[in-house]
Copies of this chain bind each other. A is one copy, B any other.
């Protein structure tokens, strides 16, 4: 599949670059090994701030155009100051964002007309778990629901975009299948 000059950009996706990336990775799979990173610092109470800057990929250390700062806190009803989103809301954003980017990429790659994508994400959580008041209640979300509304091509082609995006979404995979998380600590 080769992009031509006339379809090298579609809905903001540089399809020529997308296919070039695919070809490059096929020729040299080790460039696909990435590492993303964040650093975080406690500010006060439940308020803390992450910085996202450097990452590794394509056999080199890289940096974003600029460092990004992301704050998190709890709402007042959960003993926070409510200045910024909660950690669990960032998870919902990550899920919607990953699936939506995938929908746009798949639409561009397959020549599907896409004019609008919006979504709502809901996550149910029973705080009896994290408050330590009920051992049988899990700490995290019990269920997450995503509703997508798409406009553009015919319905079957639009639904197919969502299926294909879900099948290749990094965040959907991590949230539904889990991932090993190792934690270590130094003190001073």
Q: Which of A116-151 contact B (CB under 8 A)?
A: 116-134, 138-151
B88 x A140 contact (CB < 8 A) = no
In the complex, residue of chain B having the shortest beta-carbon distance to the beta carbon of A166? B183
B173 x A185 contact (CB < 8 A) = no
A36 x B186 contact (CB < 8 A) = no
Mask, A99-129, CB within 8 Å of B = 1, is 1111111001000001011111111111111
Q: Which of A39-91 contact B (CB under 8 A)?
A: 39-48, 50, 52, 55, 57-58, 62, 64-65, 68, 70, 72-75, 77-80, 82-91
A89 x B52 contact (CB < 8 A) = yes
Main secondary structure on chain A at its contact with chain B?
Answer: mixed
Which of B12, B79, B146 lies in contact with A181, CB distance below 8 A?
A: B146
A127 x B64 contact (CB < 8 A) = no
Q: Closest Cβ of chain B: how far from A138's Cβ, in Å?
A: 6
B150 x A185 contact (CB < 8 A) = yes
Central interface residue in A65, A72, A140, A179, by most chain B CB within 10 Å = A179
In the complex, residue of chain B having the shortest beta-carbon distance to the beta carbon of A145? B182
A-B contact pairs, 16 of them (CB 8 A): A12-B47, A26-B133, A34-B125, A35-B124, A37-B123, A40-B118, A40-B121, A42-B103, A42-B104, A57-B77, A57-B127, A65-B82, A87-B95, A88-B174, A130-B170, A138-B173
Q: Which residues of A contact B (CB under 8 A)?
A: 11-14, 17-18, 21-22, 25-26, 29, 32-48, 50, 52, 55, 57-58, 62, 64-65, 68, 70, 72-75, 77-80, 82-105, 108, 114, 116-134, 138-151, 155, 158-159, 162, 166, 168-188
